[in-house]
Chain A
Amino acid sequence: GAVVSQHPSWVICKSGTSVKIECRSLDFQATTMFWYRQFPKQSLMLMATSNEGSKATYEQGVEKDKFLINHASLTLSTLTVTSAHPEDSSFYICSALTGANEKLFFGSGTQLSVL
């Protein structure tokens, strides 16, 4: 299957720090990428849809100024958690849609721990 690389896999930071997470499609071009958030023992919650060359579409209740998304190329989308606070601690996962058959492949996730 297609490979989606997510980096970093683990981040520990102080409150007030901004953290950037990268999501790359390694062997295909992805015009659409998705960002999810997952709390322990819960399912994935869609945060936003990232479209190459245009503004991201955020789900209801997700602060766009808090979670900045940039999809500047067909293989890279970034999520920046600005001024992170302990309540932002979570597992963040990206996914990318392959154009050929519309399958969705996921990155390995980023565990963010804000102290």
Chain B
Amino acid sequence: GESVGLHLPTLSVQEGDNSIINCAYSNSASDYFIWYKQESGKGPQFIIDIRSNMDKRQGQRVTVLLNKTVKHLSLQIAATQPGDSAVYFCAEKGNAGNMLTFGGGTRLMVKP
């Protein structure tokens, strides 16, 4: 039978442009945040993380920004490439236990 589920929001960008993917989290006690990239049929791949005592962290072509006041996390990808096309999930971990809670995900499509 047909399955009914959520449709992922999609961000479409031109190759070479910068991408910004946003995520709102719910638990104000979360102290660790991670961005994952998931390509079709594969498991999530770690991109970058940030702890709650920071508001910005940079990696190679990626930057994560954390705004604890409004419980908002963003992932910025510079010079987006076709290989960046995937679904991106943010995840948060509370200060008790090791469980990660995942956001709904955003599909990034890069147009050549």
Contacts and interface: CB of A to CB of B under 8 A. Distances in A.
A49 B97 CA distance: 10
Given A39-B3, A40-B3, A109 B98 contact: no
B6 interface: yes
A40 to B, nearest CB: 6
B7 interface: yes
B98 A32 contact: yes
Interface string B44-86: 1110010000000000000000000000000000000000000
Contacts of A49: 98-99
A34 B43 contact: no
Given A103-B49, A108-B42, A41 B98 contact: no
Contacts of B6: 41-43
A44 interface: yes
A44 B7 contact: no
Interface string A88-112: 0001010101000011111111010
Contact of A106 (B5, B7, B45, B101): B45
Given A40-B5, A46-B100, A6 B46 contact: no
B5 A39 contact: yes
Interface residues of B, number: 25
Given A103-B46, A108-B43, A43 B89 contact: yes
B25 interface: no
Contacts of A102: 32, 98
Contact of B46 (A1, A41, A45, A111): A1
Nearest to B5: A42
Contacts of B8: 41
B41 to A, nearest CB: 7
Interface of A: 1, 4, 6, 32, 34, 39-46, 49, 91, 93, 95, 97, 102-109, 111
